[in-house]
């Protein structure tokens, strides 16, 4: 309980009064729970055990604090339906929570209708605003980044990011509060990273402490997972997936031999991960931009130059984007030629085929022949 009290000290000058109300409710609910247990015990001795009732007061105090913090920090109005979904409870429970907060000293919750929906918002508990060196535009940018990367974080990490931003609302003017509803993202075919949040947190811990990790990893075509040790260097995202770039570390009890390549690991394919007590020195010469941002493709093999001719909508699409820093775009007679460097043949072929007949590879010749064979094989399956 002391931990909860310390957490709430910063939420307003009337926080102490609010805490008293919360914990009175908390104790009241526990007393009710004790009576419920006593009732069940008596029934057991009498041989007439009654069906277990749904515990409507489970984590009631936690819901109370969550609702208060949401209304206070966001400084926005929230519909009854929205609050019900956020707290994972019924509308009646939300109304009960609102009444409990209203009974707290110095806390006033406004209630109003917009259309057929009922909304709630809380008045500021203090006219003083703590100093915060952040502008409305900066906060909007944070909302945009958070929303656009939601599918890469998982539910818990996304919730933590949302709470961190909402805490700054109470320090901004009432008439210019940014809204998270301005932004959204379309995530067809994306990976749900909710089951992999612990892996992400563990990697962040290892990156911060410079400690070697023991991981079990199963690549996309492997029949069995492999266990080895890595020195994590960078977490990064690419095309709606999250990766960790690392150096291989020595396996305990075995001599070290320099690997042919350093692993690029998709985080959702890591089956197990543990941070060891072995420290490593971050390489001074490591440069992520030089390693990954010089060529087309996340897979890094020997780079080679490619020339492709585009027509139709693909020509305009290509011209709008940067595919490699050294790219050259030439337009003539309604056609667009793109010359750029590539480090991954499988990614290049998949990318070219996605444009259909509006993309024609000019060179190198070996790839012209390979794509011709692939096209013939594809046409044969539709005969």
CATH of the domain at 338: 3.30.70
Residue 79: count of CB within 10 angstroms of its CB? 14
Angle at 376 between CA 371 and CA 381, to 5 degrees: 125
Whether omega before 364 lies within 30 degrees of 0, making that bond cis, reads: yes
Range 289-299 average pLDDT:
93
- 153 lies in some domain: yes
Picking from 228, 263, 286, the residue at the C-terminal end of a domain is 286
C-alpha span between 73 and 61 (Å, rounded)? 18
CA distances from 192 to 118, 152, 234, 245, 375 (A): 33, 8, 21, 20, 33
41: domain CATH number is 1.10.10.10
Q: What is the DSSP string of 296-336?
A: B-SS----EEEEEEE-HHHHHHHHTS-SSTT-EEEEETTEE
Quote the pLDDT of residue 200: 95
The CB-side HSE value for 374 (13 A sphere, CA atoms) comes to 13
Verify that 111 and 143 share a domain, yes or no.
Answer: no
CA 98 from chain centre, in angstroms, equals 30
Span 72-107, pLDDT tens digits: 777 678 888 888 888 888 888 888 888 888 776 457
In three-state secondary structure terms, 93 is helix
Whether 154 and 197 have beta carbons less than 8 Å apart is answered as: yes
C-alpha span between 29 and 356 (Å, rounded)? 65
Tokens of 240: 């709606």
- 189 lies in some domain: no
Structural domains in the chain (count): 4
Verify that 338 and 229 share a domain, yes or no.
Answer: no
C-alpha span between 58 and 89 (Å, rounded)? 11
Verify that 8 and 110 share a domain, yes or no.
Answer: yes
Verify that 216 and 302 share a domain, yes or no.
Answer: no
Contacts of 193 (CB under 8 A, 6+ apart): 151, 152, 153, 154, 157, 200, 242, 267, 268
Domain that holds residue 300: 294-380
C-alpha span between 320 and 42 (Å, rounded)? 75
Span 7-54, pLDDT tens digits: 444 444 444 444 344 444 443 444 344 334 344 433 433 344 444 444
C-alpha span between 94 and 51 (Å, rounded)? 26
Picking from 99, 122, 145, the residue at the C-terminal end of a domain is 122
pTM, rounded to two decimals: 0.65
Residue 216: count of CB within 10 angstroms of its CB? 14
Picking from 241, 261, 286, the residue at the C-terminal end of a domain is 286
Span 125-174, pLDDT tens digits: 555 555 556 777 888 888 888 888 888 888 888 888 888 887 776 666 65
CB-count exposure of residue 379 (10 Å: 0-12, 13-18, 19+): exposed
């Amino acid at each position: 309980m002391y931990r909860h009290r310390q957490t709430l000290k910063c939420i307003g000058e009337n926080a102490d009064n609010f805490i008293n109300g919360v914990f009175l409710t908390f104790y009241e609910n526990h007393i009710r729970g004790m009576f419920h247990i006593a009732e069940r015990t008596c029934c057991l001795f009498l041989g007439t055990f009654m069906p277990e009732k749904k515990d409507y007061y489970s984590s009631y105090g936690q819901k109370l604090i969550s609702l208060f913090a949401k209304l206070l920090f966001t400084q926005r109005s929230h519909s009854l339906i929205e609050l019900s979904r956020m707290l994972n409870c019924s509308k009646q429970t939300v109304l009960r929570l609102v009444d409990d907060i209203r009974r707290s000293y110095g806390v006033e919750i406004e209630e109003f209708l917009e259309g057929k929906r009922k909304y709630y918002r809380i008045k500021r508990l203090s006219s003083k605003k703590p100093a915060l060196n952040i502008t409305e535009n900066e906060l909007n940018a944070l909302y945009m980044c958070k929303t656009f990367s939601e599918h890469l974080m998982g539910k818990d990490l996304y919730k933590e990011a949302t709470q961190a931003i909402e805490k700054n609302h109470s320090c901004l003017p009432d008439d210019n509060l940014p809204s998270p509803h301005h932004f959204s993202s379309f995530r067809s075919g994306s990976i749900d990273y909710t089951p992999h949040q612990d892996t992400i947190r563990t990697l962040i811990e290892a990156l911060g402490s410079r400690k070697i990790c023991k991981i079990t990893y199963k690549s996309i075509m492997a029949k069995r997972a492999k266990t080895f040790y890595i020195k994590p260097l960078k977490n990064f995202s690419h095309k709606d997936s999250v990766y960790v770039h690392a150096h291989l570390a020595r396996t305990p009890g075995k001599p070290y031999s320099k690997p042919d390549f350093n692993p690029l690991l998709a985080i959702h394919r890591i089956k197990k991960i543990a941070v060891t007590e072995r420290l490593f020195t971050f390489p001074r010469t490591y440069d992520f931009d030089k390693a990954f941002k010089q060529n087309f493709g996340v897979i890094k093999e020997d780079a080679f130059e490619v020339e492709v001719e585009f027509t139709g909508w693909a020509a305009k699409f290509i011209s709008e984007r940067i595919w490699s820093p050294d790219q050259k775009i030439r337009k003539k007679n309604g056609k667009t030629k793109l010359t750029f460097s590539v480090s991954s043949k499988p990614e290049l072929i998949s990318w070219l085929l996605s444009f259909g007949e509006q993309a024609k590879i000019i060179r190198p010749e070996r790839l012209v022949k390979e794509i011709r064979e692939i096209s013939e094989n594809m046409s044969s399956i539709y005969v």
